[in-house]
Amino acid sequence: MTATTDAQGRIWLIQGTSTSGAVTSQLAYWAPGADDIVPAGSDVNYGYVYRSTFLISNNGRFVVFQGQEGDMATLTDTTSMATRKVDVGGNNQHTHIAVDNSGNIWSIGTGLGLRRLGLNGAVTLFNLPGDRPNQVIGFDHAQPNWLWGTGYAGASLIDVETLSNRTLPVHGLIEGLALNSQGGATLLTRNGTMTSTSYFLEYLP
């Protein structure tokens, strides 16, 4: 089970259950002081929770839940509790997603451009200059128009307003990237040979 908090203080989570050998996962939330966890809609996804994508915008308003890669996702506005199904993958070509504070869902695929799915359902594709990332991670907590990504050349910082793309070299292959609450990112990188491997923890402001 994984969880995060929205702007109203409710804790959103992916609840996994196993009944008669069938494993399912479902979006749900818990309000402080409540006795029970409440399912958010009736959608139940078959499969393990670790295969799902679960995102919340930095302002805590929009929650995205995708049961498995390639599935339609559920976009929930936690202010109005309105929920709708959205195609975040672009026919499975864009498989890594992020959501901004306005509810736009951004994605990118290997060798493909940047894709924005607006709240009105409109899809816009953008070509990025330079070394394009292979996946997007999320929006910077201090600069809401900066979208972090990773690729073979290193970490990428995309300004979604100007559509500029900056590659930040790192010490080896990126094993993971986490966004810092005050802005910037922390990366785990790996470098080495067949007989010796070193890991580095790097901070990018």
SS (H, E, C) the chain: CEEEECCCCCEEEEEEEEECCEEEEEEEEECCCCCCCEECCCCCEECCHHHCEEEECCCCCEEEEECCCCCCEEEEECCCCEEEEECCCCCCCCCEEEECCCCCEEEECCCCCEEEECCCCCEEEECCCCCCCCEEEEECCCCCCEEEEEECCEEEEEECCCCEEEEECCCCEEEEEEECCCCCEEEEEEEECCCCEEEEEEEEC
Cβ atoms of 11 and 36 within 8 Å: the answer is no
Q: Would you state the structure tokens that stand for residue 136, as one six-digit string? A: 């997007």
Average the pLDDT over each of 15-24, 30-39, 94-103 and give the range with the smallest value: 15-24
Instruction: Summarize the confidence of residues 55-80 as an average pLDDT.
Output: 87
pLDDT of 86 higher than 70: yes
> What are the C-alpha distances in Å from 88 to residues 28, 60, 91, 95, 157?
20, 19, 8, 8, 21
pLDDT of 90 higher than 80: no
**What is the per-residue pLDDT across 183-205, written as a single tens digit (0 to 9) for each?**
999 999 988 877 888 888 999 98
pLDDT of 91 higher than 70: no
**What is the per-residue pLDDT across 146-174, written as a single tens digit (0 to 9) for each?**
999 988 878 999 999 998 989 888 888 88
**What is the per-residue pLDDT across 96-153, written as a single tens digit (0 to 9) for each?**
789 999 999 998 865 567 889 998 889 888 888 777 788 899 999 999 999 999 888 7
Alpha-carbon gap, residue 36 to 22, rounded angstroms? 23
Instruction: Summarize the confidence of residues 15-26 as an average pLDDT.
Output: 75
Beta-bridge partners for 81: none
| Confidence (pLDDT) at 1 | 46
